[in-house]
Amino acid sequence: MDKILEKAIKTHHLSKMEIIELLGNNNFDNNIFAAADNVRKKYVGNEIHLRALIEFSNICKQNCFYCGVRAANQNIERYRMVPDGIITLAQNAINKGYKTIVLQSAEDDYYTAEILADIIKEIKKNDVAVTLSIGERSFNEYKIMKEAGADRFLLRIETTDRELYKKLHPNMDYNNRVECIENMKKLGYETGTGCLVGLPNQTIESLADDILFFKELDADMVGLGPLIPHKDTPLKNMTADSFWLSLKVMAITRLLMPDINIPATTAMETIHPNGRIIALQSGANVLMPNFTDESHRSQYEIYPGKKSVDYTKLEETFNKTGRTISKSKGFRQKTI
Ligand code: SAM
């Protein structure tokens, strides 16, 4: 194990078998987390990049088995924000000094590429980066939004296990999802992807494949987190017990992709009281504070208990641990 870890620290390359060994043995977890923290410090420094998250619609045409806003869930109130409302929330975040606005929604075709382009152009009148997280669209739609000024796009592959992908995503196509991610790269978006950890019948072999997928793609950001079962979904009987495994997948991703952006995800904080801080000390360098209206926040219930955090208090904690809040847009600086 020591040799594998040493190789990861020195070369940032591991074989699938080596990744499986790290994932399958829990005796060295603290060493892996510490190594990922050192690699983070060496390559992306002590700054934490804040991204203001705006969840602007929970109306979804998809039926992902794990997700609380899936189309078939009739137990939630649906909402769709008007463009001016979205722009106002973005402006609030910009006024507070945020340098990245993340526009996230369920898969809601009401927002055509043209509608989104107008919103993006308005936000981009300010000196900020815009990230989109709105699901699968055509090449042409991604192009329109890129030309409007969008900088980044986030689309998790969720799992690279094709069989599992098929079972969990009715009427969706794994190849199409990969193509969407590749299209973002072609169009010049900073491209983010990631996976869920703790899915039914997910193996450590397939998690190793997920990590190698991120590496092969040369993703600019990787966001991943534990599955948190939602009572109104087919996965309601699963348990939310994958905090440490998701942390390890994240830490190994940092070891193999030293200069990318990695968020400490809300799901990590939700299933562990100090999840975000632990993640920031195990390879993460990004946080995504939620700027969604209070009235809509609870309606964007992809999983239960989604945590909001008081970032003013967190800043004190960061400073104590030598971390500072970045004032830049926080693009990936490729070093290797
Ligand atoms: N619709 C967009 C998409 O598909 O990328 C963005 C919104 S989607 C709700 C954002 C992410 O939430 C998904 O990529 C998924 O990994 C995560 N998610 C959904 N349900 C979850 C659950 N029950 N537990 C943890 N994460 C979940």
Q: Is the pLDDT of residue 9 over 90?
A: yes
pLDDT at 228: 98
Q: How many CB atoms lie within 10 A of CB 178?
A: 16
The predicted structure's pLDDT at residue 317 = 79
pLDDT at 269 over 90: yes
In this structure, what token pair is assigned to residue 329? 């847009």
Mutate which of 54, 65, 67, 299 for ligand 1? The one with the most ligand atoms within 8 Å of its CB, which is 67
Q: Does residue 302 line the site of ligand 1, with CB under 6 A?
A: yes
> Which residues does 121 contact at the CB level (< 8 Å), separation at least 6?
148, 149
Q: Which atom of ligand 1 is nearest to the CA of 228?
A: 24
Report the alpha-carbon distance of residue 31 to residue 46 in Å, rounded: 20
104: Cβ below 6 Å to ligand 1? Answer: yes
Query: What is the pLDDT averaged over residues 27-35?
Result: 97
The reported pLDDT for the residue numbered 321 is 81
| Tokens 């940032």 found at | 12
pLDDT at residue 24 in the model: 97
Mean pLDDT computed over every residue of the chain: 96
Q: Does the CB atom of residue 293 touch ligand 1 within 6 A?
A: no
| Sign, CA torsion 227/36/155/306 | positive
Q: What is the mean pLDDT of residues 154-164?
A: 98
- Average pLDDT over every residue of 185-194: 98
- What would the mean pLDDT of 151-174 be, rounded to a whole number? 98
The protein residue with its alpha carbon nearest to ligand 1, atom 3, reads 135
What are the C-alpha distances in Å from 102 to residues 154, 207, 309? 9, 26, 17
Check pLDDT > 80 for residue 125: yes
Overall average pLDDT of the 22-32 stretch: 97
What are the tokens at 31?
Answer: 């060493």
What span, in angstroms and rounded, lies between the C-alpha atoms of 200 and 246?
14
**Averaged pLDDT for residues 173-194:** 98
Give the tokens for residue 32. 């892996």
Q: What is the pLDDT of residues 212-254, one digit of tens each?
A: 999 999 999 999 999 999 999 999 999 999 999 999 999 999 9
291 vs 296: CA distance, rounded Å: 10
Give the mutation target among 61, 66, 137 for probing the ligand 1 site: most ligand atoms within 8 A of CB.
66
What is residue 16's predicted lDDT score, i.e. its pLDDT? 98
Q: Whose CA is nearest to atom 19 of ligand 1?
A: 67
Predicted pLDDT at 316: 81
Q: How far is the CA of 240 from the centre of ligand 1 (A)?
A: 15
Residue nearest (by alpha carbon) to ligand 1 atom 4? 135
CA 70 – CA 64 distance, rounded (Å): 6
pLDDT band at 308 (very low <50, low <70, confident <90, very high): confident
Q: Which atom of ligand 1 is closest in space to residue 154's alpha carbon?
A: 5
Find the 115 Cα to ligand 1 centroid distance in Å. Answer: 23
Distance between Cα 66 and ligand 1 center (Å)? 8
pLDDT exceeds 90 at position 193: yes
